[in-house]
Structure 1
Amino acid sequence: MSFTPDAPATLDAPTTPDSAATPDAATTPDAAALRLPLADLAGKISGEVLLPGTAAYAAAATPWNVAVAVTPVAVVAVADAADVVTAVRFADTHDLDVTVQATGHGALAHTRPSLLVHTGRLDEVTIDPAARRARVGAGVRWQRVLDAAAEHGLGALAGSAPHVGVVGYLTGGGLSPVSRTYGYGSDLVTAFDVVTGDGELRRATATENAGLFWALRGGKGALGVVTAVEFELLDLDHVYGGCLYFDGADADRVLSAWKTWSATLPEQASTSIAILRLPAMPAVPPPLADRCTVAVRFAWVGDPADGERVIDPIRGLAPAIFGGLGVLPFTALGMIHADPVDPMPVHERSLLLRELPDSAVRALLALTGPAADCPQVIVELRLLGGALAREPRESSAVCHREATYSLLTIGIAAPPIVEATAGHAAAVLEALRPWSGGISGPNFGTTTDPAIVALKYDMAALTRLATLTASYDPNARMAASHPVRAAAGLMQSQSPSRSRVRF
Structure 2
Amino acid sequence: MRSAVQHSPHLHTDRVAGLVAAVRGPVLLPGQDGYDEERAGFNTLVDQRPAVIVGATGAADVAAAVRYAVRHGLPVAVQSGGHGAAGNADGAVLVSTRRMTGLRIAPEAATARMAAGVRWEQVIHEAGAYGLAPLNGSSPLVGAVSFALGGGLAVMARTFGYAADHIRDLDVVTADGVPRQVGPDREPDLFWALCGGKGNFGVVTSMEIGLMPVSRLYGGALTFDGSLAPTVLRAWLEWTPALPAELGSSLALIRFPDAPGLPAEVRGRFVTQVRIAYHGPSAKGAELVAPLRELGPRLLDTVRDMPYTDIAEVHGDPTEPYPYHERTMMLGELDRRAADAVLAAAGPGTGCPLGLVELRHLGGALRKPVRHETAVGNRDAEYCLFTVAPGGHRPPGPGPDDLLLDRMAPWATGGKYLNFLDGTAGPEEVRSAFTPQAYARLAELKARYDPGNVFRVNHNIAPAPVRGEVTA
TM-score normalised according to structure 1 size: 0.88
Residue aligning to 2:417: 441
* More deviation, 236-245/387-396: 387-396
Residue aligning to 1:121: 99
Please point out which of 124, 128, 147 is paired with 1:150: 128
Residue aligning to 2:200: 222
Cα offsets for 1:227-251 (capped at 9, x unmatched): 0000111111111110010011110
Residue aligning to 1:424: 400
Cα offsets for 1:179-225 (capped at 9, x unmatched): 10010111111011010122111111100010111111111101110
1:213 matched to 2:191? The reply is yes
Matches within 5 A, 1:35-114: 35-110=13-88, 113-114=91-92
Residue aligning to 1:466: 443
Deviation at 1:445, TM superposition (A): 1.9
Q: 1:86, 1:463 → 2: CA distance? A: 30
Residue aligning to 2:219: 241
Q: 1:435, 1:252 → 2: CA distance? A: 18
Deviation at 1:419, TM superposition (A): 3.1
Please point out which of 229, 234, 244 is paired with 1:256: 234
Structure 2 residue identity aligned to 1:162: P
Checking the alignment, whether the CA contact within 8 Å between 1:469 and 1:481 is kept in structure 2 is no
CA separation of 1:481 and 1:292: change in aligned 2, threshold 3 A: closer
Checking the alignment, whether the CA contact within 8 Å between 1:110 and 1:479 is kept in structure 2 is no
Residue aligning to 1:278: 256
What percent identity do the matched residue pairs reach? 39
Note the residue ranges of structure 2 that are not aligned, 5 or more in a row: 1-8, 466-472
SS at match of 2:171: strand
Residue aligning to 1:300: 278
SS at match of 1:350: strand
Q: 1:222, 1:200 → 2: CA distance? A: 15
Q: 1:276, 1:339 → 2: CA distance? A: 11
Deviation at 1:165, TM superposition (A): 0.5
Cα offsets for 1:344-392 (capped at 9, x unmatched): 1011100000121111111110011011120100000000000011231
Residue aligning to 2:6: none
SS at match of 2:57: coil
Structure 2 residue identity aligned to 1:432: M
CA separation of 1:394 and 1:295: change in aligned 2, threshold 3 A: same
Cα offsets for 1:315-370 (capped at 9, x unmatched): 11010011321111111111100000111101110000012111111111001101
Cα offsets for 1:109-157 (capped at 9, x unmatched): 3366210000111111101111111100110100110110111121111
Deviation at 1:446, TM superposition (A): 2.6
Residue aligning to 1:479: 456
Please point out which of 450, 467, 476 is paired with 2:427: 450
Residue aligning to 2:469: none
Deviation at 1:37, TM superposition (A): 2.4
How many residues are aligned here?
A: 456
Q: 2:458, 2:142 → 1: CA distance? A: 22
* More deviation, 50-59/349-358: 50-59
Q: 2:84, 2:398 → 1: CA distance? A: 17
Checking the alignment, whether the CA contact within 8 Å between 2:87 and 2:458 is kept in structure 1 is no
* More deviation, 385-394/222-231: 385-394
Cα offsets for 1:375-418 (capped at 9, x unmatched): 10000000000001123121101001000000011011316xx4
Residue aligning to 2:137: 159
Please point out which of 394, 402, 411 is paired with 2:389: 411
SS at match of 2:309: helix
Residue aligning to 1:393: 371
Cα offsets for 1:260-316 (capped at 9, x unmatched): 001110111000000010101123212112221000001110111111100000011
CA separation of 1:464 and 1:480: change in aligned 2, threshold 3 A: farther
CA separation of 1:474 and 1:329: change in aligned 2, threshold 3 A: same
Checking the alignment, whether the CA contact within 8 Å between 1:125 and 1:134 is kept in structure 2 is yes
Note the residue ranges of structure 1 that are not aligned, 5 or more in a row: 1-30, 490-503
Deviation at 1:108, TM superposition (A): 2.7
Checking the alignment, whether the CA contact within 8 Å between 1:47 and 1:77 is kept in structure 2 is yes
Q: 2:198, 2:339 → 1: CA distance? A: 31
Structure 1 residue identity aligned to 2:404: V
* More deviation, 386-395/333-342: 386-395
SS at match of 1:446: coil
Q: CA RMSD in A?
A: 1.7
1:352 matched to 2:337? The reply is no
Q: 2:32, 2:457 → 1: CA distance? A: 26
Residue aligning to 2:153: 175
Deviation at 1:171, TM superposition (A): 0.6
Deviation at 1:65, TM superposition (A): 0.6
CA separation of 1:162 and 1:83: change in aligned 2, threshold 3 A: same
Deviation at 1:53, TM superposition (A): 1.1
Relative contact order (C-alpha < 8 Å, sep 6+): which is higher?
A: 1
CA separation of 1:55 and 1:355: change in aligned 2, threshold 3 A: farther
Residue aligning to 1:7: none
Q: 2:457, 2:223 → 1: CA distance? A: 38
Cα offsets for 1:427-473 (capped at 9, x unmatched): 11111111114311111023351121121112111111111111111
